[in-house]
Structure 1
Amino acid sequence: MDSTFFGRPQLDSWVGETARFIRDFDWRKTPLGPIGDWPPVLRSVVQVMLPNALPMALLWGDEGTLVYNEAYAKFSGVRHPGILGMAIEKAWPEAADFNRNVIDSGMRGESLTYRDTRFVLAREHDPVETWLDLHYSPVASDEGVPVGVLAVVVETTERVLLERNRSAAEAAFRGTNERLQLALNSGAVRGTFVWEITQNRVKGDERFARTFLFSLQEVETGLPIEAALEIIHPDDRGRVTSLIAATLRDGAPYRAEYRIRTPDEGWIWILASGRCEYDEAGAPQRFPGVIVDINDRKIAEESLKELTRGLEDKISEAVAARTAVEAQLRQSLKMEALGAMTGGVAHDFNNTLQAISGNLQLMQYLPPTDPRVPERVQAALDAVQRGATLASQLLSFARRQPLSPVVINPQRLFAELRELLQHAVGASVVIGAALPEQAWNFCVDRNQLENALLNLAINARDAISGDGRLTLTCSNESLDHAACEGNDLRPGEYVRLSVSDTGTGMPPDVLERAFEPFFTTKPEGHGTGLGLSMVFGFVKQSGGHIHVSSTVDVGTTVEIYFPRSYDDETSSAEAGSIPTHTGSATVLVVDDDVAVLSSTVAILEAMHYTVLKAASGDAAMSVLESGIGVDVILTDVVMPGKVKCADLAEWAFAQPQPVPVIYASGYTRDIISRDGVLRPNVTLLNKPYRAEQLAKEIASVLKRD
């Protein structure tokens, strides 16, 4: 064996680094074995391959172990020298199947040749399309047995792409030429022109001359561009000039639609297209273009626009008429609903007034010592309370009920209400509850919420009519835009309270009217039809949403959504013992209703208060400014005169020792509340009130003071 084959004498004659890589590579880890033990045929092939200018690689053995020359190393890019001594299938995994066929064919003694074969190879990191001419020849041992494959790789990517681009350009040229010929043959082309920019001469063919009303001699010699612009309609001339300037400046294609004068002093539409040509310094030199007749198209477009405008006018008229009809229908439905509501209110209030009137008239005929007098008084008071409840329900439905919101914890709410609801529905209805481990807090008026849930429970009891189940559910809900669409809610986090029953359910026509005031399916005298209306108004006033679903013979579910509150639960104030009345305080009573003022003063005097009275805010301010000591101000909300109840409150709060103020009103609107929520430091006593309520409220504010 010639030990100097891969020694320094031979390597010195080879140019490039690949020979050094081969010499220094540890071939013992490959199927080729130590470099000193290579067979003569392997040495001979490598010696011939290394100095060759063509990219060549030897794929040795069944694995196709790679040995290559300098040109192949450059072809391999970033893969070199990592692929030296590697199996060809691992070196080029994206062409593994192709190379396996090459090795199998070569080891059978077959030669292969491929022309312009496409591969996607990552030679410089990113995979790119590559085209190659490939020639594979088997390498035989001294015994004539194939032991490897010699590959010659010639890259043809640049030539393939050039041929493709040339073919595409030729196809585009043929297409353009065909379109031009079609246009010329159709008569649409009105001429071609060339503007010699440096000489400012516009030249054209015979058709251009006829189109622009020039003689053939003029367009052959050339005219200034200003002469051509004079033929353009005055309204279009400025726009055309701007487009020409933009083409000269930016090199953008020129395309302009405009009108030109005709021999009979009329106007026709044409389309001018062109492009500017520049010299080596980038200065504009020539501006060739073509003129196309588009007059018929523009006339058709104008006709279509006129037709469209006519249709739009008719559609607008139809929409306006439909809107007017819809407005009339809404007004009719509104008046119908108002009539139903008025009738319901009148019916219930007349019944209430009749109960009060009947009891009072009866007491006129009874002596004071008659044992029936206290009973009749209590009956009249009960009737007053029914009227007050009805008014409260109406205000809730109208979202005019002043609210005192607090932060509520659902677990505590359900625990505290369970017994009350069980009493309301009776022992035959089983109440179940389901809450998450960490239910979110929410902020609403506690009393209104309890009334709403009680109303729903009573409705469920009536629907069950016997044994059944009522289920209270609470869940934390994160609503997105899709969930809030059409529900008058903003996306965000909500607490969902659900009340479900196993009652008779509601058919669709009844479900549709569920929130309608005074609508009820209960027998006469068993309900006002305001329960769900009140719940609806309270929920909406609290910024929430309510939804009712029902199936006949299955049951009904009412879902209420309230915005989540991140505040801590409002702690319940400890109920202290409040005396019902005291004789050591002076109360200023302000009310413009003589009957209300008289009765209120009489009640307070009977409770041993010192009472001052005023029939207006102006009179009340005179009393306060006189220096008379006042401990509490009890004032109506809506009164005549310049001084309003808020002015009295401002005076009271501005004193060195602030004076407690109690507002008394049957309908507050927004005078003492913002968005239906009571303002700070305001105590409200709803009319009508009982004497013990009045005494308790006065005693309460005096105690706080």
Structure 2
Amino acid sequence: MQFLDDSHGCAGWSGEMAGRIRAFDWSRTELGSIDTWPRSLISTVQLMLASPLPMVMLWARPGYMIYNDAYSIFAGGRHPYLLGSPVELGWPEVADFNRNVVDTCLAGGTLSYRNKELVLLRAGVPEDVWMDLYYSPVANDEGMPAGVMAMVVETTELVISERLRQAAENAYRADNERVRLALNAGALLGSFVWDIKANVLSGDERFARTFSFPPGQPLDNLPQDLAEAQIHPDDRSWVQEQVQRSVQTGAPFNTEYRVLRPDGSYLWVQASGCCEFDEQGQPLRFPGVLIDIHERKIAEESLLKFTRNLEQRVADEVEGRLLAEEQLRQSQKLEAIGGLTGGVAHDFNNLLQVISGNLHLLARHEAGNANVQRRVSASIAAVERGAKLSSQLLAFARRQPLSPAICTPQQIFDGLGELLQRALGETVEIRMTAADDPWPVFVDRNQLENTILNLAINARDAMLGEGIIELCADNIHLDESFCAGKDITTGDYVRVTVADSGSGMSPQVLAHAFEPFFTTKPDGQGTGLGLSMVFGFVKQSGGHVEMSSVVGEGTRVQLYFPRSLRSVPRETSVTDVPPRGGRERILVVEDNDAVRVSTVEMLQEEGYQVLTAANADIAMQMLLDGAEVDLIFTDVVMPGLIKSSDLGAWAKVQNPSVAVLFTSGHTRDIISRNHQLSPDTHLLSKPYSPQALMQMIRAVLNG
């Protein structure tokens, strides 16, 4: 048409979105081919493209979206799929709001909102946002309203800036205090890195002082022979053996040995680290940390001497002591390396999944070969041990989302009674009471059991192993005066109380009880993380925790959890879902080639039809192009513009909806909110067996 060649035509448009608009096949919409667009529409689009503000035009009653470059940034992962899409499909979570906007403006009206609060899906997770929104009608060549021009300015940061500023100040003060406590704790004796290829040892100042390196020795080139000479002669061969084992197998390095002090005595230390490998699988570097365990080792030796002739008493008490020591040892190890776990967990579990999948396939293909079956079984057992270790590390690092469910305190007490008595010993009396009609709560049951066990062990230690621990739960209503300043709302709560008759705490100690790294126990007998983890779990569950104590009389810890109005599900025996029974079509979305290949083969052997995609971008394009599937089986963490959570959100709004099963070795909180999985989110952790995969798929498909 003639107007396409003048200065107002689409040929004069510029920018990324201008190119996308010209390239889009508009003949599939009511707008028709771009060559037939009315002059008014061409002019309006040109003005919109020239604007630096996010603007989107909704044309005709379906509200086909045409937007500029600034709006494409606001759209995030939904761009460029929003272009040409009806607004109610592009933003399904606010469909009613947008329908009112289109109807009002096509009738000739205008709308404007200041700091309008909306809930939008971002990265597949509902998020509260605030915006300034301006809507006005766009006329066609006949002067009649034919579309809507929308200007979108997000004001979320302005609305919540004061809250964020206050939170930042509080966090800054807390971080400073936490760093000061960590540096003064004295348990960490330094860190080191062994560059294996260059055969160069480096460390920080604390490490150099521990091994008595001369003052002025460069920290980036510490003589290894001097370090080995400081190790006790009886321990050197053992340390070297453990180092070589870690370098050859990749196993974690955790070794206890003695280091010579300047005064001629020896200091017990624990070295923890791991070997890192290059892309060819060759050893590259060996980082680690050194921890002071001298007090604990001395205590162990003294205990052994003191109880040598008291065999019966040792038999009664040693189980509880060993359990406490193992918990302490594990806590020290995980505290040192917990920060390293999150980054490698995803790749590590992918490797385990490749090994596990192929081992199971090999076992099926060689069903009659006894030697193969024996070796495969041993290898699978090793994979399961590796997966368990990875899971434990992630749990300590608080990288795994919670799985809350409806339960009552009485159910928790019934499941904990025997375990508590076994852990605390016969010299501790446990008294449990609960309300006659206990209210239900919505919490992670395993985490609540661990919290109660943690508090009970603290109580036992405060009573020196003898006394009475009261564990009770009651229903309570909290009013405004109680809730003021506690970040909780008034209402009904369930209060769980753990009380002891121990030594108690002074007001000065009580004021710091929940701070990370704060402990009154001797060095080597506590990390100071127990109560801070209790505090974090209760707050994460929407509750509140309080502690009161009197010196010489004991301590009382009270946990408040919001009452749930949902009924407690009946506890029934779980029946296995038949793993077979379908020929549905499954779309496997996995960026790791080896994992994807083994998974596809397992599914095809069970009779399923399988489509594959290397990431969510490719998967979304396949689905938009018309690929029909019954279930999307997708990894959580993948490269690309579109996240797995976006893929899941798209599947939910289809009619009918498409089932989605997520899998990952490390979720990074992408598919959860506040580390809690929603009831309709299904996650299969890596590595998984064929049986677990088939049972989970059938459970999700059967709805």
Which is bigger in relative contact order (C-alpha 8 A, separation at least 6)?
2
- TM-score between the two structures when normalised by the length of structure 1: 0.42
Bigger Rg, structure 1 or 2: 1
